[in-house]
Amino acid sequence: MFALVIHSHLPWLANHGRWPVGEEWLYQSWAATYLPVFAALRTLADEGRTGLLTLGITPVLAAQLDDPHCLEAMHHWLGNWQLRSHEAALMTNGAGAAGTASSTAALRELGHREHRYSAAALEEFETHWRHGGSPVIRPLVESGVIELLGGPLMHPFQPLLDPRLRAFSLDEGLEDAKTRWGARPQGLWAPECAFTPGMESGYADASVSHFMVDGPSLRGDTSLGRPVGDSGVVAFGRDLTVSYRVWSPKSGYPGDGAYRDFHTYDHDTGLKPARVTSKTTSSEQKKPYDPALAAVAVDKHVADFVEAVRARLREESERIGRDALVVAAFDTELFGHWWHEGPQFLEQVLRALPAAGINVGTLDRARREGYVGEPIDLPESSWGSGKDWRVWAGDQVQDLVQLNAEVVAEALAFVDDELAAGGRDLVADQVLREALLAIASDWAFMVSKDTAAGYARDRAHKHAHAMREIIAAHRGGNTARAQQLAAAWHRADGLFPGLDARRLSKESS
């Protein structure tokens, strides 16, 4: 069996800046990935296809796709995209030489093309998304087109998290999914695929039956899912041979010269006019993007991927002496945001694989049909650099590791004291909400990878400050001030209104 797994995540960005880092990141991904990918899945569903892929959506991304502010701002963003396309179509002063992507003729053609793209995106959004992402996603879950993987609230790096808060965050995240989509996920994509021994017991307690890890976590043998210890919870590993054919740290299909170049912009409009051309071609010399050339490349890579999956299934089945499982896993945002042609590839490959006689299924189906081997003791691991924890616990981020530990300890102590008398307490709820926002794994990742490190540190400290400001007012005897602060910070970040700190208190008993 072949299983395709895609994982959708962005940190909470609403009301935290627009450009170059902030909400723009959300709207770019929404327009380039979420709109076309879910449109493709809906098309395939209308053809009667089921069990197409396993889709992870983190609670924090799901919250933004349903958030009224984000929905209104996304609509504005799409309209602005159309205005920018009109600007390009009227261009009279392209800076590039004839035949390059920045020539006047190429930019005007870019404007016409982007007008068509933006018009289609506006129609898709207005028809299907104006009431949020949940009405788009839920029918695909209920009809069995996709299997949904859940995750913990706010996307924390779980191995470094206090076990009590880890359990709370996971249970709240799974319940949030149930609220949005009608079913509590049995499968899990843990943040960063991070694991430490003992977490399997927490998964079992949360009724999680299976979760994803990276291939090296299973010592490279990903041909079957493996129960972890005696928990009965199955770990499925990403097959790097197949996955890296599409996308790896150094190569993959998106680098083909015919595909649209991610890094080259027309800075007057913010549009992307060029094809990759070659790895050595400078931005000013890149050729104009040609959708017809890109379509030929997609056909070529779909055929190549199908043959790679077929070969890998045969190779692994022969090696283990029984039918093997191959799992390819990627960030959803690869398909569209990072790789413009990705949604087209995804739709075509989901038709081509079964047409070639390849058994395609979800992780849950693989587990139920016995694609499971002997138990394994899973080591500390992640899918980051080195497949260990260096990105989230290395020397570059020791200040954030220390901050996270302090924030968690302060939040737990406050919640225990505040809830001792019982009853719902919105101040305690907000303290917990800010603590979880402060410790999101994204901040350490952005610092370690030097991608908007300043923004990441600012976000972590801002949420830590909000939590401490509320606690200080309350402990200083100014209950009214603490309530005002909690309400104000919740208005600023109005996610997960159902979060209830009393459930953390129960966990401690």
Above 60 in pLDDT, residue 507?
A: no
**Lowest-confidence segment of 221-225, 245-249, 325-329, 505-509 by average pLDDT:** 505-509
Residue 474 contacts residue 418 (beta carbons within 8 Å): yes
**Which residues are known to be catalytic?**
192, 331
- pLDDT single digits (tens) 48-83: 999 999 999 999 999 999 999 999 999 999 999 999
CB count within 10 Å of CB 128 equals: 15
Q: What is the DSSP string of 135-200?
A: HHHHHHHHTTSEEEEE--TT-B-GGGS-HHHHHHHHHHHHHHHHHHHSS--SEE--GGG-B-TTHH
Question: Which domains are seen in the chain, by residue range?
Answer: 2-379 (3.20.110.10), 391-508 (1.20.1430.10)
Q: What does the pLDDT look like over 241-295, one tens digit per residue?
A: 999 999 987 889 999 999 999 999 998 999 999 999 999 999 999 999 999 999 9
Task: Look at residue 508 and tell me whether its pLDDT is greater than 50.
Answer: no
Model confidence at 418, pLDDT cuts 50, 70, 90, reads confident
For 274, list phi and psi in degrees, rounded to 5: -110, 155
Burial state string for 173-199 with b = 16 or more CB within 10 A and e = fewer than 16: bbbbbeebbeebbbbbbbbbbbbbeeb
pTM above 0.85, yes or no: yes
Query: What's the mean per-residue pLDDT of the chain?
Result: 96
Strands across the sheet containing 146-150? 226-227, 234-237, 210-213, 187-188, 146-150, 53-57, 2-8, 326-331
Residue 192 has phi, psi (to 5 degrees) of: 60, 15
- Which residues lie closer than 8 Å to 292 by C-beta, 6 or more apart? none
> In the prediction, which pLDDT does 505 show?
64
Phi-psi region of 321 (alpha: psi -120 to 50; beta: other; left: phi over 0): left
